[in-house]
Structure 1
Amino acid sequence: MAKKTVASLQKAESKNLTKAIKMVKSPVTGAYTFKEEIVTNDKVKEFFDN
């Protein structure tokens, strides 16, 4: 599955996309989970600020 994502990010029309991975702490258990999202380059800062 990861290979398919990487291959689709390398297309010419997709050059302005970034795969962002953020570590989020659960308020209930205290365990960390990872939130992954493919966002445009101008929205990366907003993704990490939220």
Structure 2
Amino acid sequence: MAKKTVATLQTGSGKNHTKVIKMVKSPKTGAYSFKTEIVTNDKVTDFFKEGK
């Protein structure tokens, strides 16, 4: 069953999305947290540029 799920994600619009993870530093405590999103491939660079 898992093979069928993976096969359906690889066809169609599933290839147009990427999971991106960025480390973000808290201004109050200085601790790092992770921001995770699923974005389209053409918006990946915009995701990493925001917040600088």
Q: TM above 0.5, one fold? A: yes
TM-score w.r.t. the length of structure 1 is: 0.77
Counterpart AA for 2:34 = F
Q: Counterparts of 1:1-50 in structure 2 under 5 Å? A: 10-12=9-11, 13-50=13-50
Structure with larger Rg: 2
- Match of 1:15, SS? helix
Counterpart AA for 2:41 = N
TM-score w.r.t. the length of structure 2 is: 0.74
Q: Which runs of 5+ in 1 are unaligned?
A: 1-6
